[in-house]
Amino acid sequence: MSYNNLSEFIARLEAEGELLRIGASVSPVLEIAEITDRMSKVPGGGKALFFENVEGSAFPVLTNAFGSHRRIALALGAAPDALAARLDGILRQNPPRSLREKMGFIPKAIAWANFLPKTRKMKAPPCQEVIRKGDEADLTKIPILHCWPKDGGRFITLPVVFTKGLHDGRRNAGMYRMQVYDGKTTGMHWHVHKDGCHHFHEYRKAGKRMEVAVAVGTDPAVTYAATAPLPRGVDEMILAGFIRQKPVVMVKGVTVAIEVPAEAEFVLEGYVDPEETRIEGPFGDHTGYYSLEGEYPVFHLTAVTHRRNPVYSATVVGRPPMEDCYLALVTERLFLPMIKAVMPEIMDYWLPWEGVFHNIVVVAIEKEYPQHAAKIISGLWGTGQMSFAKAIAVVDDRSLLSDGKRLLAHILNTIDFHSDITVTRGILDVLDHSSPQPLYGAKIAIDATARIAGEQPRPKTNAAKASRGDEELLRHLRGIDRGFAALRRIFPECKNPLLLIAIDKENGESSRYYMDRIDWEALSQGVCVLYDAGIDLADDSLLLWKVFNNTDSSRDVTIRGAGIIIDATKKGPADGHLRPWPDEIEMTDEIKKRVNSLLNGFV
């Protein structure tokens, strides 16, 4: 099933029991975000939320619409793997040879033609039932959310931003947050690696003003397509048409020569001056940390158009799991056939949510020759958004990808620290905070495949035997330094057991200070991971999130003899990290209490 607009999707969610209406008066400043965050953390993703009575606005707000396996399948008309299978069928299509095959190919070609967007002239398209231009255009009338306490202000979090290339005229639709400065201007958070930023640089180089149109509240296929990492120059509306199995109808804006989805709830029209920037941020981001302030282009509003009774659609991001995890899952599954078309030896891959989409990739391959894993790693680091991955692990057993515990045990039992780990450098996502400098830094690769003919066998070692229990070992370490705060040993039966140690760095000491005081003979061999004191060492998801987000492999991974130590603590000048370290996202106690009173524990 596909949808012409957001309202049809909302109706489907309600019919399926996937929508919770909240009639109480709620504020778009922090309260909606707190309620949404709680619902996102409900096992399975909870329900979509429809806020009917939003303070300061006549429009309702929808959040968490994509935030479960069931809702993402309802949104896109099929489960992510089914969409991937459909795409794989197209990619594997052989050219017709006989007349019979050519005749059979005609219906397919006609169907594929229906994926293409269609621009139409309409007297009153739905997205332009109400038109506010010039002084009447006012962003403050829209219930734009202020999500987290330390955010720089209110942010449009689910915008489909349309731009056109200056030279080729090709359309790009991307999703870039927009901080509201006032009723007429916003920030435009174009990351340096994104296509929207590429268009901006074309206009800036030419010294020309750049037109922009922003659709908010589109049908689910259009919303997802704006998040998809398509190659430059490929129209995201074609992908939306593929998902919908029918074209996206587009209409021209009223003040800009850019086409927008005719069925959108809101459209913001305007321009970006290539010479104007402004401080944007901070913003509580999908990494679970605040992304820092930075200079970004400024969007100037020339018109607001909307349906007669529009719904404002928003997302709230933070420490996973949240709604964006399910959108990312679609990308993971949908782009597998494209990657396999280039690297057919890849059987499958997995991007754990704790890696916030781009920090960790585990890939299963059919290994055929020496250093095959190294070839795959190099290929992935040169492919699209995979180039942002900080860590890639390669295995040759596909079943490991469906069992995280067994996968980790396999890696701990297999790898040799000296020959199976490679540290290199490359580009990183702009939101990465652990690298000593922005935009690039260290990457780590782990080859956990079986050695084959032509490769040196791994050294034979026996599983380390724990000579002391956890409590006794912690007492021993605290006898060396009281800064050792807590300890947990897991996978003790593995060749390389895993030891987690919390250290107290509030006294100003560096991680290296504690590394040098660890009694390695008492620890024996294995993997030791350092965390900040106060971290719950029993929360496995939290521990993975910290490791994936807080480490720079060239600085924070140290091999010592038969052991390896990973520093997943917060870094500062004492650790040689001179960039600001962002705060973790946390709601204020005041808002938590207000929401408790508002909902009486309902969410």
pLDDT in tens, 153-175: 999 999 999 999 999 889 999 99
Residue 126 has what DSSP assignment?
A: G
Q: Tell me the torsion sign for CA atoms 131, 137, 139, 142.
A: negative
Mean pLDDT value across residues 472-489: 93
Q: Could you tell me the CATH number of the domain that includes residue 68? A: 2.30.110.10
Asked whether residue 457 is assigned to any structural domain, the reply reads: no
Domain for residue 585, yes or no? no
Which token pair is 174?
Answer: 């991307």
pLDDT reading at 286 higher than 90: yes
Domain with 531 in it: what CATH number? 3.40.1670.10
Taking the model in full, what pTM does it have? 0.91
In a domain, 584, yes or no: no
- Shared-domain flag, residues 476 and 415: no
Would you say residue 100 lies in a domain?
A: no
Residue 542's SS3 state is helix
Range with the poorest average pLDDT among 109-118, 208-217, 414-423, 430-439 = 109-118
Q: Indicate whether 284 and 375 sit together in one domain.
A: no
Average pLDDT in the chain: 92
Domain that holds residue 114: 6-92+109-313
Same domain, 231 and 292: yes
| Domains held by the chain: number | 3
Q: Does residue 220 have a cis peptide bond before it, meaning omega lies within 30 degrees of 0?
A: no
Confidence of residue 507 (pLDDT cuts 50, 70, 90): confident
For the cut 80, the answer to whether the pLDDT of residue 46 exceeds it is yes
Q: Which of 447, 481, 499 is the last residue of a domain?
A: 447
Q: Is 304 exposed, middle or buried (0-12, 13-18, 19+ CB in 10 A)?
A: buried
> Cβ(446)–Cβ(496) under 8 Å?
no
- Is residue 583 included in any domain, yes or no? no
Q: Which of 195, 285, 432, 447 is catalytic?
A: 285
Residue 234 has a pLDDT of: 87
Q: What is the residue-wise DSSP string for 389-419?
A: -SEEEEES-GGGGG-HHHHHHHHHHH--TTT
The region of weakest confidence among 356-365, 466-475, 489-498 is 466-475
- 201 lies in a domain? yes
User: What pLDDT does residue 357 have?
Assistant: 80
Instruction: State residue 89's pLDDT score.
Output: 75
Tell whether 141 and 206 lie within a shared domain: yes
H-assigned helices in 491-561:
511-515, 520-523, 540-550, 553-556
Task: Specify whether 49 is located in the same domain as 13.
Answer: yes
Q: Which helix (H) or strand (E) holds 89?
A: helix 80-91
What does the pLDDT read at residue 374? Answer: 96
Q: Convert the pLDDT of each residue in 301-345 to its tens digit.
A: 999 999 999 999 999 999 999 999 999 999 999 999 989 989 999
Residues 261 and 377 in one domain: no
Per-residue CA distances from 293 to 152, 426, 476, 583 (Å):
8, 23, 43, 12
Helices and strands counted in the chain (H then E): 18, 28
Same domain, 302 and 375: no
Residue 197's pLDDT band (cuts 50, 70, 90): confident
pLDDT value for 102: 56
Is 138 one of the annotated active-site residues of the chain?
no
Please check whether residues 443 and 474 belong to one and the same domain: no
pLDDT in tens, 516-560: 998 877 776 789 999 999 999 999 999 999 999 999 999 999 998
